[in-house]
Each structure stands twice: as structure tokens, then as C-alpha cells.
Amino acid sequence: MFFKLVIVILVSLAAAEDLNFTYNGFLSANLSLDGVAQVTSNGLLKLTNDSGNDTVLGHAFYPNPVTFKNSSNATAFSFSTTFVFAIRSEFGLRLGGQGIAFVIAPTRGLPGGSLIQYLGVFNETNNGNASNHIFAVELDPIQNPEFGDINNNHVGIDINGLRSVNSTPAGYHALNNGGFRNLTLISGQPMQVWVEYDGIQKQINVTLGPINVDKPHIPLLSSKYDLSTVLNTTMYVGFSSTAGAVYTSHYVLGWSFEMNGQAPGLVLSQLPKLPRIGPKKISNFLTVGVPVMSLSLVLLVVLGLIYFIRRKRKFAELLEDWELEYGPQRFKYKDLYIATKGFKENELLGTGGFGKVYRGILPSSKIEIAVKRVSHESRQGMKEFVAEIASIGRLRHRNLVSLLGYCRRKGELLLVYDYMPNGSLDKYLYDRPTVTLNWSQRFRVITGVASGLFYLHEEWEQVVIHRDVKASNVLLDGELNARLGDFGLARLYDHGTDPQTTHIVGTLGYLAPEHIRSGRATTSTDVFAFGAFLLEVACGRRPIEAQGPDQNLILVDWVFSFWNRGAILEARDQNLSSEFVAEEVELVLKLGLLCSHAEPTARPSMRQVVQYLEGEIALPDLSLLGFSSNGLTFAHHEGFDDFAMSYYSSPGKGFSHSSYAAESAVLSGGR
């Protein structure tokens, strides 16, 4: 009893408030539907379906009664409503079909509503009878002469019957005096309708517009009519429609209503989407969409495949069965490519006789590396060479640059070394260096290189001949420790070359005469090169320096001439200030001459070199070793001529790299 009372009070309170509602789509609306009316799964109110069968009818009403007057003899309130509708003919046909009506009626359904031309609102007996108490706005695409319809595309205000109080062709007054524009009700396009009643002025305005324009300022229809006699105290608001056998559907997409005020605006973007217009759209999709889509798909797959193949080719490597045992020393080309940022020019550290050297950072371990790219066309001898690399890879000495591993591609070999931040020694020695080394640093470099070379010759499990000892192959680590690099590389070009050509690899000025003659590298030829290196470091000059056209300064001869005059210290680098140890400079210069002896047997071994440098044994007297005063003992001129001849007469393929070295030695006097 108590609850009932509370509910009654609540209901009357709610009713006292001015009613308003907004439906942007009808999924959450509790409409009262009859006939074939339905709310589709996406929220469209579909009043009729496109059965193409007999005429069908559909009604949809706001479920609750709406108070339009204070009492039965009072004047009607103002109200405003707006909705979006669409009349769709299937197959894109504009066959006509019935219209749609906004209705204010005394009952929720329209029990007497007839089919066909009565829009489901009236029937032939009650049409026009004032006892109907029905107000309607018709959107009518059919001309019914019996109701005085003006054309087959009109909007009308109907009171109690289908003979309109006022009607006009569908259209709208565009904003900003844009003129009147026709609209076709059955176009299938959604359109918006505003119905407004001013209870004081007794004026009914009806405005129509396409969905994408703002509400026109000038109404399409405006009629003076007092609805107080038409509308009862409580009424029902809704829509009514019928469809004949013409495959036409009537939709309402959104609806709002406000008593005594302006109907809330609809949020057009939230309105449910109309279904695609049937077969034509589908055929468009089939004839254009599907081929275009499948073509794009094929294109995409092809592009993907091309990308994949190019990537695969870009990072392709050569890997043969025999290499499997060197697995740990094998680097992935992709890793090296990423490490050096694709072998970018600004990662280039230098260009040597064998190829370009790039700086890099290994992607996984972030270790800094130097990658030497050696182009190598011949596969001959590669197996032995890689075996040698693998064994060299196990060499570890504080004065040797560690070879971390290798990678092999078609025509290309990549060697991965420890990165030496201070670069090669030569740039501290000649060509007016910006930074030079003082004597104690130079002496440390010399003893370091000697110790590294001694390790290669005698201390390791097998004899390794370096073949290319020179200042530019000596690298300086972070603490300026000398580290000998590039060992064994020369051997790559020693294998399998044409026997007709002299296969010498090395750099002119560091090549022992017997090496040029026989082509055979020995520990002795390494000692000869080390001698040239000693003079280089002490004098700050290249072994052969161009002094003019056809005139070269041969460093050994030059130093020898100072020795001959009994003033060997004068040959030292003038960049060395007075801070040098005279005994050490003299030792190094004399040892340089001794190592450069033309007779291999007269040269010391690396073991002896180390002992001399450490002062363990005294250097023999040079004058007792057959150094004659004319300097021919060094036989440099002879060797140079031989070499030049063999270079010009045998431009063999496998020779190209050593010839490069020779050429650059002649032109620039260095590496």
C-alpha cells in the first residue's frame, strides 16, 4: 500500500517535468512496435521491410503517454521534435512506394490505420473525421489525387485526415540565401526533419534538410493552426508507414523530442549506418573491389618476396662444409653489416693494401671491432688460408692485434679484429704529424713490436711469418701499446697464383733483396722489414722517399752514410727534442742497419733483436760485418730494379694487390 503510494507520487512528479528524450539509434529505446516494425541489430528503426510481397504496415511509438495539455479544455503546450529518416527502394529503383508519417495520436497503435495510401494512419471511413484527434506530418513520395496531393514528392501537415492542411514539394531553403533546393524523399539518402509547434502563436513549422547541412533557418512549411482542439490531454508520439509491393523500406535513424522547448540535437556521427543498397553495391564490390583487393594482395606478396630475396642476397655468405670446425670464429655477415652501419663511408678507418678497414660495434656484445674487407676472387687456397686464420685466431700476445674471427662471402673475405682506438703508428711519424711520439714512447713501441714478432717466429707452436712488417701495420691501443696487425694476410695472395708471375707480397722498401729474387718469405725477410721499421721510427722517414722526379731517398743508404761519417745520431728524427737517450737511439739505428743487411745470414734473429734491445747482449761492431763504405751491401737499388721489372712485365691477376702496394710505395713512398 505504502509502496504503491510512493510510486504514484514519483510518477506524478516525473510527469510534472517537461518530457524530453533523445535516441541516437534505437538499441536502448523501449519503443512500442507493431506491424512489421523492428529495431535492427545495429539500432535502426525499420518500420517496413522490403518484402516485395503484399503491402505491409509498421508503427513505432514512444511507449509512455505524453502530456500535451493541463486539462481537456486547456491550450496545448509548445513542443519540438526532430528525426532522421530514409526511404529506400531496393535495387536502386525509384519505384515510388508509400511514405512515412510522424504522428501524434490518442492511442499507441493506430487500430484503424489502413494500408496503402492512408500511410497506416487513417482508413477510408474515418479519414478527415475530427473525432480522430490525430496530428501528422507526412513525407509522401506518391501523388494521391483523391487527397489533393500536389505531386509525388511532397511534405504535408495533416490533421485528422490525409487531405493536408498545408503541403509543399520536398526541399529546403539553403542557409545564407542559398535559394531553394529540391530533395527527393525516395532518394535513399538520410534526411532530417524538424517539427515545431508554438502553443502561444499557434504556429506549426516543418523543416526538411539533407543530413550533412545545418538546420535551415526558413521552414519548409509554416501553418497557423491551434492544436488545442486536436490534441487530447495525453497523447502518444511515433511513426507510421506502409510499403506496397515495391521493395521499399522505411527507416528512422534517430529521434529526439522536447515538450516546451527545443528538441535536443541528434549526434549524427552516432547514428546507426544504413545497410548498403543491395545488388548494385555488391556487384560494384565484386567487379571492382575484389579484383583490386586480390591484385593488391598479389602485389604485396610479390613485394614481400622481393624484399625477402634481396635481404637474403644482401646478407648471403659462403659457408662450406670444411668450415664447420671453425664455427666459433665465424661471424654472421648480417652482424658485421649492422656493426659497421652497412659499411658506411664515415665508419671507414683506412684503406690498406688489402682492402678497406671499417670501425664497428657488434650488435649483441657492444664490443668495438675493426672489420677488414678483403676482396678475393679466387677460391683457390681459401681452405688453407681459413685454416691459417683459424689458427692465427688463437694467437694471443699483448703486442699483436687479436683476430677475433672472419666471415666469407662471394669474392670477399671479412676479417674481424680488436679495435685500436689510436690508429696506426705511421700517422705519428711522418708527413708533419700533429701529434708525435717522444723517444721513450717510440722505444716502447719498438720493443713491443720486436716482442710480438719474436712470438710469431719462435714462441708460438708454429712459425708464423708476418710478411708485411711496417709502421702502418703497427697499431696503437688505448695505452699507446704497439700491436702488430695484418699478420699472415699476405699469405692469402701467395697461394695458387700463376707460377709465371713472381708472387711477392709486401711493401717496397721493406722487401729483402733475396725475397724479391726468390719470392720466398722467411723469418729473415721479416727481420729485414723490421730493420726498415726501426730506421723509420728513429728517423721519422719512410724507407723510400721521393725527392724529385726519378730520385728517391733510400733511408738505409742515408743512415748508412751518417754511420760512415761516424755521426749516426744525426740521422735521428728532428722532431725528437733533446729528450732522448743517445745510447738507445744509436742502438736502434745500428740495429736497423744490421737487420737491413743484404746477406740474410748476417741479419740477427728476432730472439737476438729482443736481446739487443733489452741490453742483454751487446751489438756487434758493424764494421766487422762486411758493411763496405760504398753502401752497396744493402743492394737496395738492385732489388728495386728487379722488382720494378717484374711488376711491369707480369701484370698477372693474382699479383694485383702486391702491385698496388708497390705502386703506392713508389708514388707516395709509403704504404
Ligand X SMILES: *[C@@H]1O[C@H](CO)[C@@H](O)[C@H](O)[C@H]1NC(C)=O
Type of residue found at 631: G
223 DSSP β-pair partners? 204
Who contacts 661 (Cβ-Cβ below 8 Å, separation ≥6)? Answer: 353, 505, 506, 507, 508, 671
**CB of residue 106 to ligand X, shortest distance in Å:** 3
Answer yes or no whether residue 58 interacts with ligand X by CB under 6 A: no
191 DSSP β-pair partners? 85, 210
**CB of residue 132 to ligand X, shortest distance in Å:** 6
Answer yes or no whether residue 178 interacts with ligand X by CB under 6 A: no
For the chain, the helix, strand and coil percentages under 3-state DSSP, each to the nearest 5: 35, 25, 40
* Interacting residue with ligand X among 40, 67, 123, 184 (CB under 6 A): 123
Residues 390-429 that bind ligand X (CB under 6 A): none
* Interacting residue with ligand X among 42, 151, 270, 668 (CB under 6 A): 151
Task: Tell me the pairing of strands 79-89 and 45-48.
Answer: unpaired
Q: What residue numbers does the annotated binding site for ATP cover?
A: 372
Considering only the stretches 199-207, 277-285, 325-333, 380-388, report the one whose residues sit in contact with ligand X under the rule CB under 6 A: 199-207
Answer yes or no whether residue 232 interacts with ligand X by CB under 6 A: yes
What are the φ/ψ torsions at residue 409 (nearest 5 degrees)?
A: -125, 180
| 254 vs 506 by CB, closer to ligand X | 254
**CB of residue 277 to ligand X, shortest distance in Å:** 15
- Nearest residue relative to ligand X (C-beta): 112
Answer yes or no whether residue 98 interacts with ligand X by CB under 6 A: no
Query: What is the pattern of x (binds ligand X, CB under 6 A) and - over residues 63-82?
Result: x------xxxxxx-x-----
Instruction: Say which residue the cell 709509403 belongs to.
Output: 670
**CB of residue 86 to ligand X, shortest distance in Å:** 17
* Interacting residue with ligand X among 42, 129, 296, 629 (CB under 6 A): 129
Answer yes or no whether residue 143 interacts with ligand X by CB under 6 A: no
Instruction: Exactly one of 149, 468, 486, 494 is catalytic; name it.
Output: 468
What string of H, E and C letters represents the secondary structure of 93-121? CCCCCCCEEEEEECCCCCCCCCCHHHCCC
* Interacting residue with ligand X among 9, 42, 53, 582 (CB under 6 A): 53
Task: Please state, as a whole number, how many other Cβ atoms lie within 10 Å of the Cβ of residue 130.
Answer: 11
Task: Please state, as a whole number, how many other Cβ atoms lie within 10 Å of the Cβ of residue 569.
Answer: 15
* Interacting residue with ligand X among 41, 182, 269, 578 (CB under 6 A): 182
- The dihedral formed by the CA atoms of 531, 533, 539 and 544, expressed in degrees to the nearest 10: 90
* Interacting residue with ligand X among 40, 93, 106, 600 (CB under 6 A): 106
Residues 2-41 that bind ligand X (CB under 6 A): 17-18, 20, 30, 32, 36
Q: Is 468 a catalytic residue?
A: yes
Count the site residues for ligand X by CB under 6 A: 41
Rama region for 92: left / alpha / beta (φ>0; ψ in -120 to 50; rest) = left
Answer yes or no whether residue 54 interacts with ligand X by CB under 6 A: yes
* Interacting residue with ligand X among 15, 40, 95, 126 (CB under 6 A): 126
Considering only the stretches 193-201, 318-326, 496-504, 627-635, report the one whose residues sit in contact with ligand X under the rule CB under 6 A: 193-201
**CB of residue 289 to ligand X, shortest distance in Å:** 25
| 265 vs 363 by CB, closer to ligand X | 265
SS3 category, 172: strand
CA-wise closest residue to 362 among 340, 390, 394, 344: 340
Answer yes or no whether residue 125 interacts with ligand X by CB under 6 A: yes
DSSP 345-409: GGGEEEE-SSEEEEEEE-TTT--EEEEEEEE----TTHHHHHHHHHHHTT---TTB--EEEEEEE
> Residue 81: is it exposed, middle or buried by C-beta count within 10 angstroms (0-12/13-18/19+)?
buried
**CB of residue 286 to ligand X, shortest distance in Å:** 22
Sign of CA dihedral 356, 497, 489, 637: negative
Q: What residue numbers does the annotated binding site cover?
A: 372
Answer yes or no whether residue 251 interacts with ligand X by CB under 6 A: no
* Interacting residue with ligand X among 96, 109, 112, 363 (CB under 6 A): 112
- Rounded Cα–Cα distance for residues 21 and 307 (Å): 58
Whether residue 669 contacts residue 546, with contact meaning beta carbons closer than 8 Å, is answered with: yes
Task: Please state, as a whole number, how many other Cβ atoms lie within 10 Å of the Cβ of residue 548.
Answer: 7
Answer yes or no whether residue 177 interacts with ligand X by CB under 6 A: no
Answer yes or no whether residue 652 interacts with ligand X by CB under 6 A: no
Residues in contact with ligand X by CB under 6 A are: 17-18, 20, 30, 32, 36, 49-51, 53-54, 63, 70-75, 77, 106, 111-112, 123, 125-126, 129, 131, 133, 151, 169, 182, 196, 198-199, 203, 205, 218-219, 222, 232, 261
Known catalytic residues are 468
